[in-house]
Protein backbone atom coordinates (compact mmCIF):
# COMPACT_ATOMS: atom_id res chain seq x y z
CA UNK A 1 0.00 0.00 0.00
CA UNK A 2 1.09 3.60 -0.41
CA UNK A 3 2.18 5.67 2.56
CA UNK A 4 -1.20 7.45 2.44
CA UNK A 5 -3.07 4.12 2.63
CA UNK A 6 -0.86 2.91 5.47
CA UNK A 7 -1.42 6.12 7.42
CA UNK A 8 -5.17 5.76 6.91
CA UNK A 9 -5.24 2.24 8.34
CA UNK A 10 -2.93 3.24 11.18
CA UNK A 11 -5.34 6.03 12.04
CA UNK A 12 -8.30 3.61 12.01
CA UNK A 13 -6.55 1.08 14.22
CA UNK A 14 -5.15 3.79 16.47
CA UNK A 15 -8.55 5.35 17.07
CA UNK A 16 -10.55 2.14 17.41
CA UNK A 17 -8.11 -0.16 19.18
CA UNK A 18 -9.41 -3.60 18.22
CA UNK A 19 -11.02 -2.29 15.06
CA UNK A 20 -13.01 -5.47 14.33
CA UNK A 21 -13.24 -6.80 17.88
CA UNK A 22 -11.28 -9.61 19.52
CA UNK A 23 -13.39 -12.58 18.44
CA UNK A 24 -12.13 -14.58 15.44
CA UNK A 25 -13.91 -14.71 12.11
CA UNK A 26 -16.79 -17.17 12.26
CA UNK A 27 -15.64 -18.55 8.92
CA UNK A 28 -12.11 -19.19 10.14
CA UNK A 29 -13.49 -21.05 13.14
CA UNK A 30 -15.83 -23.15 10.98
CA UNK A 31 -13.21 -24.06 8.39
CA UNK A 32 -10.17 -24.57 10.61
CA UNK A 33 -11.42 -26.12 13.87
CA UNK A 34 -11.17 -29.66 12.48
CA UNK A 35 -7.59 -29.23 11.22
CA UNK A 36 -4.57 -30.56 13.09
CA UNK A 37 -2.56 -27.57 14.37
CA UNK A 38 0.69 -26.84 12.57
CA UNK A 39 2.26 -23.71 11.12
CA UNK A 40 -0.16 -20.93 10.16
CA UNK A 41 0.35 -17.77 8.14
CA UNK A 42 -2.21 -14.99 8.66
CA UNK A 43 -1.87 -12.50 5.80
CA UNK A 44 -3.37 -9.03 6.32
CA UNK A 45 -3.77 -10.05 9.96
CA UNK A 46 -4.86 -6.60 11.17
CA UNK A 47 -5.04 -6.41 14.96
CA UNK A 48 -4.51 -10.14 15.33
CA UNK A 49 -7.87 -11.51 16.40
CA UNK A 50 -7.57 -14.52 14.09
CA UNK A 51 -3.86 -15.05 14.69
CA UNK A 52 -4.42 -15.09 18.46
CA UNK A 53 -7.29 -17.55 18.17
CA UNK A 54 -5.10 -19.90 16.13
CA UNK A 55 -2.23 -19.62 18.60
CA UNK A 56 -4.58 -20.41 21.49
CA UNK A 57 -5.38 -23.68 19.72
CA UNK A 58 -1.82 -24.79 19.30
CA UNK A 59 -0.88 -23.30 15.95
CA UNK A 60 2.53 -21.71 15.45
CA UNK A 61 1.48 -18.43 13.85
CA UNK A 62 3.08 -15.76 11.71
CA UNK A 63 0.93 -12.63 11.28
CA UNK A 64 1.70 -10.13 8.53
CA UNK A 65 0.24 -6.65 8.12
CA UNK A 66 1.48 -3.31 6.85
CA UNK A 67 -0.10 -1.17 9.61
CA UNK A 68 2.16 -0.84 12.63
CA UNK A 69 -0.75 0.40 14.79
CA UNK A 70 -2.68 -2.78 13.99
CA UNK A 71 0.31 -4.95 14.89
CA UNK A 72 0.76 -3.08 18.16
CA UNK A 73 -2.84 -3.94 19.03
CA UNK A 74 -2.16 -7.53 18.02
CA UNK A 75 0.86 -7.76 20.28
CA UNK A 76 -1.19 -6.40 23.17
CA UNK A 77 -3.97 -8.95 22.57
CA UNK A 78 -1.47 -11.80 22.31
CA UNK A 79 0.18 -10.75 25.57
CA UNK A 80 -3.20 -10.54 27.27
CA UNK A 81 -4.10 -14.04 26.07
CA UNK A 82 -0.65 -15.46 26.87
CA UNK A 83 0.30 -16.64 23.39
CA UNK A 84 3.39 -16.08 21.25
CA UNK A 85 3.04 -14.94 17.64
CA UNK A 86 5.65 -13.81 15.15
CA UNK A 87 4.52 -10.42 13.85
CA UNK A 88 5.82 -9.10 10.54
CA UNK A 89 5.24 -5.54 9.32
CA UNK A 90 5.24 -5.69 5.53
CA UNK A 91 3.26 -4.74 2.45
CA UNK A 92 1.98 -8.02 1.01
CA UNK A 93 2.62 -6.77 -2.50
CA UNK A 94 6.34 -6.66 -1.70
CA UNK A 95 6.66 -9.52 0.79
CA UNK A 96 7.14 -13.20 0.13
CA UNK A 97 7.07 -16.07 2.62
CA UNK A 98 9.09 -19.25 2.48
CA UNK A 99 7.66 -21.57 -0.20
CA UNK A 100 5.51 -24.50 0.96
CA UNK A 101 6.18 -23.58 4.58
CA UNK A 102 2.70 -23.41 6.15
CA UNK A 103 -0.03 -25.92 6.91
CA UNK A 104 -2.59 -23.12 6.89
CA UNK A 105 -2.53 -19.82 5.02
CA UNK A 106 -5.40 -17.46 5.83
CA UNK A 107 -6.21 -14.36 3.79
CA UNK A 108 -9.23 -12.71 5.36
CA UNK A 109 -10.75 -9.47 4.10
CA UNK A 110 -7.76 -8.25 2.14
CA UNK A 111 -8.82 -5.19 0.15
CA UNK A 112 -6.83 -4.82 -3.07
CA UNK A 113 -7.70 -4.25 -6.74
CA UNK A 114 -7.91 -7.42 -8.79
CA UNK A 115 -4.44 -7.41 -10.35
CA UNK A 116 -2.74 -6.78 -7.02
CA UNK A 117 -4.92 -9.32 -5.24
CA UNK A 118 -4.00 -11.93 -7.85
CA UNK A 119 -0.34 -11.28 -7.21
CA UNK A 120 -0.75 -11.66 -3.44
CA UNK A 121 -2.90 -14.79 -3.71
CA UNK A 122 -0.35 -16.35 -6.04
CA UNK A 123 2.28 -15.90 -3.36
CA UNK A 124 -0.13 -17.15 -0.71
CA UNK A 125 -0.66 -20.30 -2.79
CA UNK A 126 3.08 -20.79 -2.97
CA UNK A 127 3.31 -20.70 0.83
CA UNK A 128 0.95 -23.66 1.39
CA UNK A 129 2.75 -26.87 2.34
CA UNK A 130 1.77 -30.22 0.76
CA UNK A 131 -1.41 -31.30 2.47
CA UNK A 132 -1.99 -27.78 3.79
CA UNK A 133 -4.95 -25.46 3.27
CA UNK A 134 -5.47 -21.95 1.94
CA UNK A 135 -8.54 -20.10 3.21
CA UNK A 136 -9.64 -16.87 1.54
CA UNK A 137 -12.58 -14.82 2.78
CA UNK A 138 -13.47 -11.37 1.50
CA UNK A 139 -16.22 -8.87 0.84
CA UNK A 140 -18.21 -10.18 -2.10
CA UNK A 141 -19.11 -8.01 -5.05
CA UNK A 142 -22.79 -8.59 -4.35
CA UNK A 143 -22.39 -6.91 -0.98
CA UNK A 144 -22.09 -3.59 -2.76
CA UNK A 145 -25.81 -3.46 -3.52
CA UNK A 146 -27.30 -6.32 -1.51
CA UNK A 147 -25.37 -6.58 1.74
CA UNK A 148 -24.45 -4.51 4.78
CA UNK A 149 -21.26 -2.53 5.35
CA UNK A 150 -17.97 -3.31 3.71
CA UNK A 151 -16.01 -1.30 1.14
CA UNK A 152 -17.95 0.76 -1.37
CA UNK A 153 -15.26 0.58 -4.05
CA UNK A 154 -16.10 -2.32 -6.41
CA UNK A 155 -12.43 -2.63 -7.41
CA UNK A 156 -11.55 -4.21 -4.05
CA UNK A 157 -14.53 -6.56 -3.94
CA UNK A 158 -14.37 -10.12 -5.24
CA UNK A 159 -16.36 -13.24 -6.07
CA UNK A 160 -15.73 -16.93 -5.36
CA UNK A 161 -14.98 -17.42 -9.06
CA UNK A 162 -12.45 -14.58 -8.99
CA UNK A 163 -10.55 -16.15 -6.13
CA UNK A 164 -10.74 -19.70 -7.48
CA UNK A 165 -9.04 -18.54 -10.68
CA UNK A 166 -6.22 -16.92 -8.72
CA UNK A 167 -4.96 -19.94 -6.75
CA UNK A 168 -2.33 -21.76 -8.81
CA UNK A 169 -1.33 -25.22 -7.66
CA UNK A 170 -4.34 -25.71 -5.42
CA UNK A 171 -7.54 -27.71 -5.76
CA UNK A 172 -10.70 -25.78 -4.97
CA UNK A 173 -12.61 -27.65 -2.28
CA UNK A 174 -15.18 -24.96 -1.54
CA UNK A 175 -16.09 -21.73 -3.34
CA UNK A 176 -19.30 -20.07 -2.27
CA UNK A 177 -21.05 -16.93 -1.12
CA UNK A 178 -21.79 -16.83 2.60
CA UNK A 179 -23.94 -14.55 4.71
CA UNK A 180 -22.40 -12.93 7.78
CA UNK A 181 -24.86 -11.66 10.43
CA UNK A 182 -24.27 -8.08 11.54
CA UNK A 183 -26.03 -6.52 14.53
CA UNK A 184 -27.30 -2.98 13.98
CA UNK A 185 -29.56 -0.62 15.90
CA UNK A 186 -32.36 -1.71 13.57
CA UNK A 187 -31.78 -5.41 14.19
CA UNK A 188 -29.76 -8.12 12.50
CA UNK A 189 -28.75 -7.65 8.89
CA UNK A 190 -26.35 -9.60 6.69
CA UNK A 191 -23.15 -8.92 4.84
CA UNK A 192 -22.35 -11.01 1.78
CA UNK A 193 -18.88 -12.53 1.73
CA UNK A 194 -16.99 -14.81 -0.63
CA UNK A 195 -15.33 -17.90 0.84
CA UNK A 196 -12.83 -20.17 -0.90
CA UNK A 197 -11.09 -23.12 0.72
CA UNK A 198 -8.34 -24.84 -1.24
CA UNK A 199 -6.15 -27.74 -0.08
CA UNK A 200 -2.70 -28.10 -1.54
CA UNK A 201 -1.88 -30.95 -3.87
CA UNK A 202 0.21 -33.55 -2.08
CA UNK A 203 2.68 -33.89 -4.94
CA UNK A 204 4.08 -31.75 -7.71
CA UNK A 205 6.63 -28.99 -7.98
CA UNK A 206 6.07 -25.80 -6.00
CA UNK A 207 4.60 -22.89 -7.86
CA UNK A 208 7.39 -20.87 -9.48
CA UNK A 209 5.70 -17.47 -9.34
CA UNK A 210 3.31 -15.50 -11.54
CA UNK A 211 3.79 -15.58 -15.29
CA UNK A 212 3.13 -11.85 -15.58
CA UNK A 213 4.95 -8.87 -14.16
CA UNK A 214 3.88 -7.48 -10.83
CA UNK A 215 0.95 -5.11 -11.43
CA UNK A 216 1.32 -1.38 -11.26
CA UNK A 217 -0.50 0.13 -8.31
CA UNK A 218 -3.09 2.05 -10.23
CA UNK A 219 -6.66 3.07 -9.55
CA UNK A 220 -8.23 1.15 -12.43
CA UNK A 221 -10.61 2.47 -15.07
CA UNK A 222 -14.12 3.81 -14.85
CA UNK A 223 -15.26 1.24 -17.41
CA UNK A 224 -13.97 -1.59 -15.24
CA UNK A 225 -15.82 -0.17 -12.27
CA UNK A 226 -19.02 0.08 -14.28
CA UNK A 227 -18.74 -3.50 -15.53
CA UNK A 228 -18.18 -4.86 -12.01
CA UNK A 229 -21.09 -2.84 -10.67
CA UNK A 230 -23.30 -4.27 -13.42
CA UNK A 231 -22.17 -7.77 -12.48
CA UNK A 232 -23.00 -7.04 -8.83
CA UNK A 233 -26.54 -6.02 -9.76
CA UNK A 234 -27.22 -9.12 -11.86
CA UNK A 235 -25.65 -11.43 -9.28
CA UNK A 236 -27.75 -9.87 -6.55
CA UNK A 237 -30.93 -10.75 -8.40
CA UNK A 238 -29.78 -14.38 -8.53
CA UNK A 239 -29.02 -14.44 -4.82
CA UNK A 240 -32.37 -12.86 -3.95
CA UNK A 241 -34.14 -15.53 -5.99
CA UNK A 242 -32.22 -18.25 -4.17
CA UNK A 243 -33.17 -16.75 -0.81
CA UNK A 244 -36.86 -16.77 -1.75
CA UNK A 245 -36.68 -20.41 -2.77
CA UNK A 246 -34.89 -21.42 0.46
CA UNK A 247 -37.52 -19.66 2.60
CA UNK A 248 -40.42 -21.59 1.13
Q: Do 141 and 231 touch, CB atoms closer than 8 A?
A: yes
Whole-number average pLDDT of the chain: 82
Note the helical H segments in 95-221. 114-127, 143-146, 160-164
Residue 202 scores a pLDDT above 60:
no
Residue 121 scores a pLDDT above 80:
yes
Please give the C-alpha separations between residue 138 and each of 80, 170, 204, in angstroms, as whole numbers. 28, 18, 28
Contacts of 202 (CB under 8 A, 6+ apart): 130, 131
Exposed, middle or buried, 151 (CB in 10 Å: 0-12/13-18/19+)? middle
pLDDT in tens, 26-65: 999 999 999 999 999 999 999 999 999 999 999 999 999 9
Q: Do 63 and 87 touch, CB atoms closer than 8 A?
A: yes
pLDDT in tens, 15-31: 555 556 689 999 999 99
Amino acid sequence: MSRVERDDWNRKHGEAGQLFGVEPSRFLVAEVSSLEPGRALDLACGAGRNAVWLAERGWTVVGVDFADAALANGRALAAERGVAIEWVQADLRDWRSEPRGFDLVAVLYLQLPAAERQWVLGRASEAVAPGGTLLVVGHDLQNLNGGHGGPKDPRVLLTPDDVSAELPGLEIEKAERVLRPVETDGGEVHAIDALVRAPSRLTGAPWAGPTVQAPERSGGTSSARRSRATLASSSLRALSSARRRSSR
